[in-house]
Structure 1
Amino acid sequence: MTENPTDPARPTQRLSEAGVSIWLDDLSRERLDTGNLAELVRTRDVVGVTTNPTIFAKALSEGNAYDGTLAELAGTDVEPAVERITTDDVRAAADVLRDVYDATRTVDGRVSIEVDPRLARDTAATVETATRLWATVDRPNAMIKIPATLEGLPAITAALAEGISVNVTLIFSIERYRGVMDAFLAGLEQARANGHDLAPIGSVASFFVSRVDAAVDKALTEVGTDDALELRGKAAIANARLAYAAYEEVFATDRWKALAAAGAKPQRPLWASTGVKDPSYRDTLYVDELVAPGVVNTMPQGTLDAFADHGLVVGDTVSGTAEASAATIAAIEAQGISMDEVTRQLEDEGVHKFEVSWDELLTTTKAGLDDAGA
């Protein structure tokens, strides 16, 4: 059956109308070459794209869409080759989404590319790389992904101060999220002082969801009591809803209002890691339960397909839930589980996983360059 992109009953359209921007958590040369990305914009209401080293490593290892580029780059060093391949894809995706960017007045139509994750604990190197990637992609609707490590916070501020749009990634705790929002406000204040137009400077704060449940559910299962088992599958949504409450608080302050009066747009919460890890959970759980105005949900293809087929949109499922969400977190901690420890571990694991994926990307690209030059 051919999808009707103007069907008001379409779940993705209803989600968009509820104020959630749908971004695709995937990108490949094949998607670009076949027109698949443009088709998702038309039929699935996709208005943005996120990437990471894992996504690019997978794209390079499948099919032959990169053969021509690898042949052209044969004989070059692997790291410049990786940067060329990934920035080419992001630039092309940004061009596909440029009409969305213009139509939404710079809010959506964004495509993110990540700084080398091996630099996550190095502020100066992160800023240097972010600046180079921004110049290389050379599209106003690009975003540079910087991790929300302690060392990443000043890098976020420095990049924004230079007019670079930033996707802050790997946020797990409310405390760190507040630090991210403060870094955003400081960056825009410096950008204004530097004479930059604030209107096109975009930012999202990528708050990870399913990984929280995976970690907390494991701990609750180890506790094993009925009360503990009853709390499985509740930590991630409660944590994200508390993040939204923090967002509402910060973006109602006089500090933000002064920046908004100068043309700035808020740093939107972005729900990341929205594919369920536990197959017993509803496959659209982290979309259905996190509907709120002014947020982004970046979905892997499987989650997007599932939501397009049977997603539920019953209105705002986040606003006004802070008290109940705090009670859920308190109940989890009453089982002897420290959310601070869980989120700290998840950040360390997240950085490590992206480092491993980066190494895989380098290895796959090196093999492709060697084959092309043989």
Structure 2
Amino acid sequence: MAQNENLAQLSQAGVAVWLDDLSRDRIRSGNLQSLVDERSVVGVTTNPTIFAAAISGSDSYDDQVHALAVRKVSVEEALRTITAADVRDACDLLAPVAQRQPGDGRVSLEVAPGLAHDTDATAAEAAHLWWLVDRPNLFIKIPATEAGLAAITTSIARGISVNVTLIFSLERYRAVMDAYLSGLEQRLADDADADLTQIASVASFFVSRVDTEIDKRLEKAGADQLKGKAALANAQLAYQAYEEVFSSDRWKALEAKGARPQRPLWASTGVKDPSLPDTLYVSELIAPGTVNTMPEKTLQAYADHGAAGTPVQQTYDDAAAVMKSVADAGVDLDDVFRVLEEEGVQKFVDSWDELTASVKSELEDKA
């Protein structure tokens, strides 16, 4: 079947199209396969909010929940078994993509968000989930908290492919790239003949949430002319940082050993401000070697009327000027990024708690 022209052109420009959603119904109905065949989708991301909506809104999980209930498994074990099953099936569906496009064909599964500030527990669960799903095209999602950075290094050193999530600031993004390179270096230190070609990673740099938080502050400061600009500028400067790190001598030494670059992934690309174009965070973030993970609404909008904007590499000076203007308007960017990280972790914790309560109720009903 023919691919949508707009999304095909996006892919040809070097942007991998991933879907930010997953459910058992989407897999079983053939919908995910159709998005691969007709919408250039080559990867899938998930999070606790996505699974909470999927499980609570479908009866496709009833048989599995019943089997878990009669076995009297814990809520935590049931939750991991259910989500791992969906991710494993999606990995299998996307395996042909992974074979022809190494680095794509990936499906992400997140560590429990309540562990975000516990390095050892995060690394331990990442290893468990990697074992549980047991698919080479899996990504384990680890948040880019300060505690998460060391867990990223440990996981990469163990040969686990990682999707680093909840990145908001350039400073933290640079720390994430360092954590990835350190993990590769540690793997080689542990085994000089280690195969780095099988390790992949993406760094999920969040976009729309940055505008949501900054625009509130700009409005209070009377700087409405800057609204809707900071998120793109922040992401564009992140790509500049990516180019710097992955052209360094440090990286070239690892690349010579077979390592793959950690690709920037644009996350939170659904536009939340209705006054902005609904494809803004796709059209203006086009650059080689990137991933854009989209909610289906944004994916279909780009398929319908998306068009490429200015290539990211041509925006660095303007982006730096925007971020300076935002700071000059009185917006404390360090505080913005601190708030966004805290809220991001808490939102996923709340969704995880909701998901846990839902599964607990289902287990009790079907016992």
Change (3 A) 1:133 1:336: same
Matching residue of 2:315: 321
Are positions 1:82 and 2:83 aligned together? no
Opposite residue 212 of structure 1, the aligned amino acid is: V
CA distance in 2, matches of 1:276, 1:236: 11
Are positions 1:229 and 2:227 aligned together? no
Q: C-alpha deviations, 1:252-271, integer Å up to 9, x for none?
A: 10000011111111000000
CA distance in 2, matches of 1:216, 1:334: 13
Are positions 1:207 and 2:217 aligned together? no
Instruction: After TM superposition, give the deviation of residue 54 of structure 1 in Å.
Output: 0.3
Q: Secondary structure at the match of 2:313?
A: coil
Q: Secondary structure at the match of 1:139?
A: coil
Q: Secondary structure at the match of 1:97?
A: helix
CA distance in 1, matches of 2:295, 2:359: 23
Opposite residue 85 of structure 1, the aligned amino acid is: I
- Equivalent positions of 1:1-374 (< 5 A) are 5-6=2-3, 10-74=5-69, 75-104=72-101, 106-195=102-191, 196-224=194-222, 228-314=223-309, 317-373=311-367
CA distance in 2, matches of 1:194, 1:132: 21
CA distance in 1, matches of 2:234, 2:202: 17
CA distance in 1, matches of 2:351, 2:161: 24
Instruction: After TM superposition, give the deviation of residue 320 of structure 1 in Å.
Output: 2.8
Percent identity, aligned pairs only, is 59
Instruction: After TM superposition, give the deviation of residue 313 of structure 1 in Å.
Output: 2.1
CA distance in 1, matches of 2:112, 2:318: 38
Instruction: After TM superposition, give the deviation of residue 6 of structure 1 in Å.
Output: 4.3
The runs of 4+ residues in structure 1 deviating greater than 3 Å are none
In the superposition, the TM-score normalised over structure 1's length comes to 0.96
Q: C-alpha deviations, 1:46-97, integer Å up to 9, x for none?
A: 0000000000000011021111111111132111000000111111000000
Opposite residue 238 of structure 2, the aligned amino acid is: A
Q: Report if the CA contact (8 A) 2:85-2:133 is conserved.
A: yes
Q: C-alpha deviations, 1:254-309, integer Å up to 9, x for none?
A: 00001111111100000000001111111101000100010000001111111111
Instruction: After TM superposition, give the deviation of residue 366 of structure 1 in Å.
Output: 1.0
What's the RMSD between the two structures over aligned residues?
1.0
Q: C-alpha deviations, 1:207-238, integer Å up to 9, x for none?
A: 000000000111111112xxx11100000000
Unaligned runs of 5+ residues in structure 1 are none
Instruction: After TM superposition, give the deviation of residue 192 of structure 1 in Å.
Output: 2.1
CA distance in 1, matches of 2:20, 2:366: 29
Q: Secondary structure at the match of 1:27?
A: coil
Unaligned runs of 5+ residues in structure 2 are none
Opposite residue 66 of structure 1, the aligned amino acid is: Y
Change (3 A) 1:6 1:223: closer
Instruction: After TM superposition, give the deviation of residue 111 of structure 1 in Å.
Output: 0.5
Instruction: After TM superposition, give the deviation of residue 191 of structure 1 in Å.
Output: 1.6
Q: Secondary structure at the match of 2:335?
A: helix
Q: C-alpha deviations, 1:347-367, integer Å up to 9, x for none?
A: 010001100000011011111
Opposite residue 317 of structure 2, the aligned amino acid is: E
CA distance in 2, matches of 1:223, 1:158: 43
Q: Report if the CA contact (8 A) 2:3-2:39 is conserved.
A: no
Q: C-alpha deviations, 1:324-370, integer Å up to 9, x for none?
A: 11110000111100111101110010001100000011011111112
CA distance in 1, matches of 2:60, 2:3: 32
CA distance in 2, matches of 1:192, 1:36: 41
CA distance in 2, matches of 1:50, 1:85: 16
Q: Report if the CA contact (8 A) 2:3-2:37 is conserved.
A: no
CA distance in 2, matches of 1:317, 1:223: 31
Opposite residue 63 of structure 2, the aligned amino acid is: G
Opposite residue 5 of structure 1, the aligned amino acid is: A
